[in-house]
Amino acid sequence: MGAPGAGKGTQASRIAARYDIPAISTGSIFRQNIAEGTPLGVKVKEIMDAGKLVSDEITDQIVADRLSQDDCASGWLLDGYPRNLHQVSALDEAGHQVDAVISLLVDEEDLIQRLLKRAEIEGRSDDNEDTIRTRMQVYTAETEPLLQTYAERGLLVEVDGEGEIDEVTERVVRELDAFLSGNRGELDA
Ligand code: AMP
C-alpha cells in the first residue's frame, strides 16, 4: 500500500521478482485493457481518467479470477488491491490469506513531485494535476483506513519509501523478511 506516487508499482514488481511470485497490479490490468480497447477497458477508462475507483464488482472479480490461476498457487503480491474496506472483505471471503501488508511511507510534497514527473515520462492519462488531486483524496478517504484494519490484524509492515529505488527495495525485503520470520517463530513456538 501507499499513496499515489509512493512507488507501489515499481516496488511491487521488484519485490515479487525477489520472492519469485507474480505481482498483480489492478491498475496495470485496467491500463492494459484500455490500451487494447477491450470492453472492460472501454468501461473503466473514464472513471480511471477521473482518478476515481473502478466499481468493486468489476475489480473484485478481476482479482478473484487472477488469483485462481496456476501461477498464483504458491503465492502472489497484490499491488493496488484492496483499496477500500469492501475489497478487504471480498479478498477475505474469496479465502485468500494475506501474510503481510507493506505500506510505503513517503512525504506528501514528494508525492506530487513524483507524480508530475511520471506524467512527463510515462504519459499516463491519469497523472494530470486535477486527477492527481482526486486520487489523493480517494486514497485518504477510502484506502488509508485499511492501514488500521491490517495493523489490527498484526499484518502491517511500514517501510520508509524515500530514497533511491534500489535502496527502497532492499529496505522492503529486509523488513519483510524480518517480519515473516518473526511470525514464523511465533507459529513454531
Ligand atoms: P494504480 O495503478 O494502482 O495507481 O491504479 C490506477 C487507477 O486504476 C486507480 O486510480 C483506479 O481508477 C483504478 N484502480 C486500480 N486498482 C483499483 C482497485 N483496487 N479498485 C478500484 N479501482 C482501482
How much is the pLDDT for 126? 84
Q: Look at residue 31 and tell me whether its pLDDT is greater than 90.
A: yes
Would you call 135 a catalytic residue per the annotation? Answer: yes
| CB 110 within 8 Å of CB 162 | yes
Q: Look at residue 187 and tell me whether its pLDDT is greater than 60.
A: no
| CB 111 within 8 Å of CB 6 | yes
Q: Look at residue 96 and tell me whether its pLDDT is greater than 60.
A: yes
- pTM of the entire predicted model: 0.92
pLDDT tens digits, residue range 107-130?
A: 988 888 888 888 888 878 888 888
Spatial CA neighbour of 27 closest among 6, 17, 186: 6
| Complete DSSP assignment for 84-116 | SHHHHHHHHHTT---S-EEEEE--HHHHHHHHH
pLDDT tier, 186 (very low <50, low <70, confident <90, very high otherwise)? low
Spatial CA neighbour of 29 closest among 16, 15, 19, 44: 44
Cell of 58: 468489476
* Catalytic residue chosen out of the listed positions 43, 52, 124, 171: 124
How many Å lie between the centroid of ligand 1 and the Cα of residue 130?
A: 16
